[in-house]
Chain A
Amino acid sequence: MLVEFAMHHAWLVPLIPALSFLIIVFLTRPFEKLTAFLSVSFMAISCFFASLAAYGVFNNHELAEHPLVYNFFNWLSIGIPGANELQINLGVQLDPTSAMMLFMVSFVATFIQLYSVGYMKGDPGFSTFFSYVSLFAASMLLLVISSNLLEMFVAWEGVGLCSYLLIGFYSHKISAREAAKKAFVTCRVADFGLLLGILGLVITFGTLDIMELNDKINNFKEYTSYGTLTLLAVLVFIGPIAKSGQFPLHVWLPDAMEGPTPVSALIHAATMVVAGVYLVARMMFLFDAVPAAMNMVAITGGFTALFAALIAITQTEIKRILAYSTVSQLGYMMLALGVGSLTASMFHMWTHAFFKALMFLAAGSVIHAVHTPNVWKMGGIVKKMPVTSWTFVVGGLAISGIPPFAGFWSKDEILVATMNSGHYVLYAMGAFTAFLTAFYMWRLIFLAFYGKEKPENHPHESPWTMCVPLVVLAVGATVGGFFGMPWNNMWAHWIFFGEPHHAGHVAWGAMISSVALAVAGIYLAYRLYLKDTEKVKARQLAEKYQFWYQLSFNKFYIDEIFLWFNHTVVDGSAKLMYLFDIYVVDGIVNGLGGFARLTGDGLRVLQTGSMQNYALVFFLGVLAVTILMAFTGPSAAGLVLGGVM
């Protein structure tokens, strides 16, 4: 009964946090406790609805093939029906993928909000923060259930806006301000591509409804050529490149940690960045129709995974390391989509949401306690902050791919899918990334949580509102992967594209090798950063390979290249245009004015002011007319004088 209701009113899930946003902004802003209670409880209600809907969806196997779609609102309808029209219906598309996301987003958001109650205590922008986070969750949830590409785009930009507001939350800091701007503008550049893709789709196929597009693209030959469709797929993919932090538009993501830590957790785990992956997943039918686009997605993903991992191994700020690890993991998800495995991609997104949210929140808890983001200045925290530290270790095990933690199953699934699709180079890159992941993550853990205590730090455990979410998420990060174990793969029965994966086939080789790589990574980190307490070896290595170290430490100078482009090329041409405007365009206008003025200056000399001069000219004029009339007769003069005579 209730499940039915939730399934058919899934639009309530985004609406409830949106309401809480409105209530906070207009009513409860001055009352911090009330705001916090309202925000968290609304989010929890939303999560409750989402889990009911998800329960309903997962109990109805029909929906995997035929999603539950209903439109609840005619948003826009213009033009001449049938001939030249633009119809946009807002609607809900509920299938296992969106139901999973719905639950995951609302679940993670609920615990992040709960965590924020403790984390943001005493901040002057406490209520504002909660209103933004509610709006953020609402936008993301709307994106998830959208049945229409434009609706999705609206939510997509809404997510972008909220991330802008939240990254720039400490707006008095220049760095936060710039990071927020960077995030928005980077995404905007990519949205330009996405928008072109959407426009191309609506013009080619006459609809933006995802299911209708699905049908039409399946026999796209009736509408357009293969080349055009490839172009459209590539354009659509540009959007997710920035949103999901793929190379080369990943630059905003590491800077996004300028926001409060819960926001970083929300952005990196459940909202914002997974939006891009989700969009590609939703548009799988488009990419699937054009193998070239699929390869592009796979290569972008694989390369990003490796590239970000290479940067992460030298970073020193805890949140920055986590940020690059997110970029890397998102690369995995893209890779999985690119090789055609929706199952693996969504599975990794699911597990990643738990362990990445967990690690960010734990990192926030640490920074909250020691007041420094630099891992080299931490150390030995495990004794003072057991909950934080142990939950972080769980996250570290999960992301490194140690069984039975969640990350192992999903990462393994991706690697197997890559291997099966025949992309051996990408498989090698993925496997090497897995090794690097284990290494940099455990480097972080050994440096920050173990080793010698630093006397200047006085860490203390965080309040319960911060610890409870950590524990809950740690449980999720531990058991979350059991849905998709290869010998009993429930996940693949629910979420798939095309044909469901066949359960029971276990790729032992891939599994064992990935575990071996992970253990090797952890062991290397152990040798370099814990056993050798003076960390001499690590430093020696850095000095020995100075060039490579600097390259990695400076993030391959991608940021600098963009900065140069922005400041030199864009601002330079802006300056040029402006100068052109005031000197050439306006110059012509002022020149015309000046011409009129000069002519006047020349002619006014005739105005001598002497009456007798005027009289003389007047008389001469009369004389001239008279003579003219005398010699040629009145008709000619009439012609000259325009019929006056």
Chain B
Amino acid sequence: MSFPVLPVILLAPVAAAVVLLFIPKEEHRLIKSVAALGTFVSLFLTLVIYFNYNQDVGGLQFVTQRDWIKDLGVTLFFAVDGISLPMVLLTNLIGFCAIFASWNISNRPREFFILLLILITGVMGTFIAHDLFIFLLFYEVVVIPIYIMVVIWGSSKRVTKEYAGMKLTIYLLIGSGFLLVGVIALFVKSVGVLGAPDMSFSALAEAGAQLSNFDQIWLFALMLFGFGSLISMWPFHSWSPDGYAGAPTAVSMIHAGVLKKIGGYGLIKIAVVMLPLGAQFWAPWMAVLGIAGVAYAAFGALAQKDLKYVVGYSSVSHMGYVIIAVACLDVIGLNGAVANMFAHGIMAALFFSMIGFLYEKTHTRWMPDMGGLGRQTPKLAAGFMLAALASLGLPGLVTFVPEFTIFVGIFSKYGGLAVIGIAGIIITALYALRAGAHTLFGPPRPEYDHLEDIKGPELVPLVVLGFVLVVGGVLPSLLFDMINSGVVPLHAEISNVLQLGGNL
């Protein structure tokens, strides 16, 4: 390995954050440019490795590995495979756009962008770390900046921003507490199996698969609770709408777009792989919770009048699909789960950035107070509608094929039960179009006549995310070939343990 590309990707935002420390705090434009540059370097390099990843070979590539804490078997193990690479790409796409979505921040921008860059790094770290200790380390890094950002730059509507920040943080910490117990127990047991401490994913997977059925079941339950509350699995979802509503735009984007996906990613790459028997035991329960989440949150979104709450509930609903898909435990379902995380990330980030601009300009997110903005701010409206249509899974946009794949998976596995989940698409259409209609269409309001459409740097989220939304929808193989190359070996590993094989 000549060039340690993953550490560079990981550290570029940190480097930018360090540079920001030395920039006078009045230089707003310079601060933002440096932040954008830092994330751009990461984004660019991620694109380079995305298209240079050898899908025929598969497995972990671009590996950087150093011993770190020998007594615990912890290594600085950075690598990507077909599952983590789309997630890294997603993080960087959204991170880059989040900088531009916060272009108009004028309250202490330097602190804001430093925290934002740390947040991006933390999220990215969880996806490229292939050592469980490092994974948890990055995961905890993420929580702190979010709390500070929500409390300082957030907004109070139905709930105060302090409440929202507190709820978000405590929920995630409780979840990660359970996760930590599970991880430590798994680690302790793995030392017994392997004879030597080793925290890397592959070693733990090898050890975990040899554990007894009973051990796997209770360990998986702990992890399911930890990751499930992170991915807002019903009924551990209630942090999500309140949290997004309170958070500033960039945090909502990153949180809904990628941070939440750490839960799904962890479920697949950690919980399911390391504890396949546990996964098999809990799969029907996961499916039930997932389906409940899909239907329940879709209805929840329908009842909302605050735009951010609509998207907040909708993301809970969409994550329900990911949970059911993981519960399929087959190749198609897992493919769909990963792809849907990517697709939903792009969609949610675009949605939140557009809502953020709307809020910035109209100072309201309350749907009855809006209307006719399609005439006054056409570009904003285009972005908003694009996100709304992606949310309802319109073919030709990136969200459709993943959803279809998930439907194929769950329909073949759970049959009638899946129908309830699939029926969610009707409710989704209803609330997505209603949000669009009440905000953008109808008679224009005179008080918004002076509004300026988004322009210049504000256009970046729309252009970048919109481009991915459309290209990913028209050419789904760009995404799916990659994911498939990661999912197939992973599934082979699981089914070796389960001895169930393909069952389409």
**CB contact list, B474-496 vs A, under 8 A:** 476-477, 480-481, 483-484, 487-488, 491
Q: Among A75, A86, A177, A570, which residue has its beta carbon within 8 angstroms of that of B332?
A: A86
* Interface status of B225 (Cβ within 8 A of chain A): no
Q: Note all chain B residues with C-beta closer than 8 A to A168.
A: 441
* Interface status of B302 (Cβ within 8 A of chain A): yes
* Interface status of B167 (Cβ within 8 A of chain A): yes
Q: Known interface pairs A79-B504, A158-B396. Does A185 touch B303 (Cβ–Cβ under 8 Å)?
A: no
**9-residue interface stretch from A200-208, A399-407, A453-461, A543-551:** A200-208
- Alpha-carbon distance between A39 and B477 when the two chains are bound, in angstroms: 31
A236 to chain B, nearest CB (A): 14
- Looking across the interface, which residue of chain A has its beta carbon closest to that of B433? A181
* Interface status of B87 (Cβ within 8 A of chain A): no
- Looking across the interface, which residue of chain B has its beta carbon closest to that of A158? B396
- Looking across the interface, which residue of chain A has its beta carbon closest to that of B234? A585
Q: Are A157 and B395 in contact (CB under 8 A)?
A: yes
Q: Are B331 and A578 in contact (CB under 8 A)?
A: no
* Interface status of A617 (Cβ within 8 A of chain B): no
Q: Are A196 and B332 in contact (CB under 8 A)?
A: no
**CB contact list, B130-177 vs A, under 8 A:** 167, 170-171
Q: Are B299 and A181 in contact (CB under 8 A)?
A: no
* Interface status of B197 (Cβ within 8 A of chain A): no
* Interface status of A218 (Cβ within 8 A of chain B): no
A207 to chain B, nearest CB (A): 12
* Chain A proximity mask over B391-422: 1 for CB below 8 Å, otherwise 0: 01011100011001101100110000001001
* Interface status of B374 (Cβ within 8 A of chain A): yes
- Alpha-carbon distance between A174 and B411 when the two chains are bound, in angstroms: 39
Q: Note all chain A residues with C-beta closer than 8 A to B484.
A: 77-79
* Interface status of A581 (Cβ within 8 A of chain B): yes
Q: Are B235 and A585 in contact (CB under 8 A)?
A: yes
Q: Are B477 and A586 in contact (CB under 8 A)?
A: no
* Chain B proximity mask over A403-429: 1 for CB below 8 Å, otherwise 0: 000000000000000000000000000
Q: Are A172 and B444 in contact (CB under 8 A)?
A: yes
Q: Among A78, A176, A181, A199, which residue has its beta carbon within 8 angstroms of that of B407?
A: A199
- Looking across the interface, which residue of chain B has its beta carbon closest to that of A82? B502
- Looking across the interface, which residue of chain B has its beta carbon closest to that of A171? B441
Q: Note all chain B residues with C-beta closer than 8 A to A84.
A: 330-332, 502-504
Q: Note all chain A residues with C-beta closer than 8 A to B396.
A: 154, 157-158, 161
* Interface status of B223 (Cβ within 8 A of chain A): no
- Alpha-carbon distance between A206 and B504 when the two chains are bound, in angstroms: 8
Q: Among B300, B303, B477, which residue has its beta carbon within 8 angstroms of that of A77?
A: B477
Q: Are A185 and B426 in contact (CB under 8 A)?
A: yes
- Alpha-carbon distance between A51 and B368 when the two chains are bound, in angstroms: 50
Q: Are B426 and A188 in contact (CB under 8 A)?
A: yes
Q: Are A184 and B422 in contact (CB under 8 A)?
A: no
- Looking across the interface, which residue of chain B has its beta carbon closest to that of A575? B303
* Chain B proximity mask over A571-591: 1 for CB below 8 Å, otherwise 0: 101111110010001101100
* Interface status of A593 (Cβ within 8 A of chain B): yes
Q: Are A185 and B429 in contact (CB under 8 A)?
A: yes
- Alpha-carbon distance between A373 and B453 when the two chains are bound, in angstroms: 36
- Alpha-carbon distance between A195 and B422 when the two chains are bound, in angstroms: 9
Interface residue SS majority, chain A: helix
* Interface status of B192 (Cβ within 8 A of chain A): no
Chain B residues bordering chain A, tally (CB within 8 A): 63
- Alpha-carbon distance between A578 and B238 when the two chains are bound, in angstroms: 11
A251 to chain B, nearest CB (A): 15
- Alpha-carbon distance between A574 and B303 when the two chains are bound, in angstroms: 5
* Chain A proximity mask over B241-285: 1 for CB below 8 Å, otherwise 0: 010000000000000000000000000000000000000000000
Q: Are B167 and A199 in contact (CB under 8 A)?
A: no
Q: Among B299, B374, B434, which residue has its beta carbon within 8 angstroms of that of A577?
A: B299
Q: Note all chain B residues with C-beta closer than 8 A to A85.
A: 331-332, 504
* Chain A proximity mask over B69-81: 1 for CB below 8 Å, otherwise 0: 0000000000000
A206 to chain B, nearest CB (A): 7
* Interface status of B39 (Cβ within 8 A of chain A): no
- Looking across the interface, which residue of chain A has its beta carbon closest to that of B392? A188
A597 to chain B, nearest CB (A): 12
- Looking across the interface, which residue of chain B has its beta carbon closest to that of A83? B502
* Interface status of A74 (Cβ within 8 A of chain B): yes
Q: Are B477 and A76 in contact (CB under 8 A)?
A: yes
- Looking across the interface, which residue of chain A has its beta carbon closest to that of B480? A78
A501 to chain B, nearest CB (A): 36
* Interface status of A390 (Cβ within 8 A of chain B): no
Q: Are A181 and B422 in contact (CB under 8 A)?
A: no
- Looking across the interface, which residue of chain A has its beta carbon closest to that of B423? A192
- Looking across the interface, which residue of chain B has its beta carbon closest to that of A206? B504
Q: Known interface pairs A188-B392, A203-B412. Does A172 touch B332 (Cβ–Cβ under 8 Å)?
A: no
* Interface status of B335 (Cβ within 8 A of chain A): yes
* Interface status of B47 (Cβ within 8 A of chain A): no
Q: Are A74 and B477 in contact (CB under 8 A)?
A: yes
* Chain B proximity mask over A123-150: 1 for CB below 8 Å, otherwise 0: 0000000000000000000000000001
Q: Among A76, A164, A576, which residue has its beta carbon within 8 angstroms of that of B401?
A: A76
- Alpha-carbon distance between A589 and B238 when the two chains are bound, in angstroms: 8
Q: Known interface pairs A181-B433, A195-B425. Does A174 touch B480 (Cβ–Cβ under 8 Å)?
A: no
Q: Are A177 and B441 in contact (CB under 8 A)?
A: yes
Q: Known interface pairs A581-B238, A585-B238. Does A184 touch B408 (Cβ–Cβ under 8 Å)?
A: no
* Interface status of B442 (Cβ within 8 A of chain A): yes
* Interface status of B372 (Cβ within 8 A of chain A): yes
Q: Are B330 and A581 in contact (CB under 8 A)?
A: no
* Interface status of A189 (Cβ within 8 A of chain B): yes
* Interface status of B289 (Cβ within 8 A of chain A): no
- Looking across the interface, which residue of chain A has its beta carbon closest to that of B429? A188
Q: Note all chain A residues with C-beta closer than 8 A to B54.
A: none
* Interface status of A523 (Cβ within 8 A of chain B): no
Q: Note all chain B residues with C-beta closer than 8 A to A588.
A: 235
B144 to chain A, nearest CB (A): 20
Q: Among B242, B394, B501, which residue has its beta carbon within 8 angstroms of that of A83?
A: B501
- Alpha-carbon distance between A570 and B395 when the two chains are bound, in angstroms: 25
* Interface status of A482 (Cβ within 8 A of chain B): no
* Interface status of A80 (Cβ within 8 A of chain B): yes
* Interface status of A553 (Cβ within 8 A of chain B): no
* Interface status of A153 (Cβ within 8 A of chain B): yes
Q: Note all chain B residues with C-beta closer than 8 A to A86.
A: 332, 405, 408, 504
- Alpha-carbon distance between A83 and B503 when the two chains are bound, in angstroms: 8
- Alpha-carbon distance between A356 and B427 when the two chains are bound, in angstroms: 34
Q: Among A79, A189, A581, which residue has its beta carbon within 8 angstroms of that of B426?
A: A189
Q: Are B332 and A593 in contact (CB under 8 A)?
A: no
* Interface status of B296 (Cβ within 8 A of chain A): yes
**CB contact list, A83-139 vs B, under 8 A:** 83-86
**CB contact list, B182-239 vs A, under 8 A:** 235, 237-239
Q: Are A171 and B303 in contact (CB under 8 A)?
A: no
**CB contact list, A160-185 vs B, under 8 A:** 161, 164, 168, 171-174, 176-178, 180-181, 184-185
Q: Are A76 and B480 in contact (CB under 8 A)?
A: yes
Q: Among B242, B335, B425, which residue has its beta carbon within 8 angstroms of that of A78?
A: B335
Q: Known interface pairs A75-B476, A171-B442, A195-B422. Does A574 touch B429 (Cβ–Cβ under 8 Å)?
A: no
A592 to chain B, nearest CB (A): 9
Q: Note all chain B residues with C-beta closer than 8 A to A174.
A: 442-443
Q: Known interface pairs A78-B332, A78-B484, A203-B412. Does A185 touch B502 (Cβ–Cβ under 8 Å)?
A: no
Other contacts beyond A570-B430, A589-B239: 17, CB < 8 A: A77-B480, A78-B484, A80-B502, A83-B504, A84-B331, A84-B502, A171-B441, A172-B444, A177-B437, A177-B441, A188-B426, A206-B504, A574-B299, A574-B302, A585-B238, A586-B238, A588-B235
Residues of chain B having any CB pair with chain A under 8 Å? 167, 170-171, 235, 237-239, 242, 296, 299-300, 302-304, 330-332, 335, 372, 374-375, 389, 392, 394-396, 400-401, 404-405, 407-408, 411-412, 419, 422-423, 425-427, 429-430, 433-434, 437, 440-444, 476-477, 480-481, 483-484, 487-488, 491, 501-504
| 12 A-B residue pairings within 8 Å (CB atoms) | A77-B481, A78-B483, A79-B502, A157-B395, A161-B389, A172-B444, A191-B425, A192-B425, A199-B407, A202-B408, A573-B299, A589-B171
Give 7 nearest A-B pairs by CB, closest first.
A84-B502, A83-B502, A578-B303, A574-B302, A154-B395, A577-B299, A171-B441
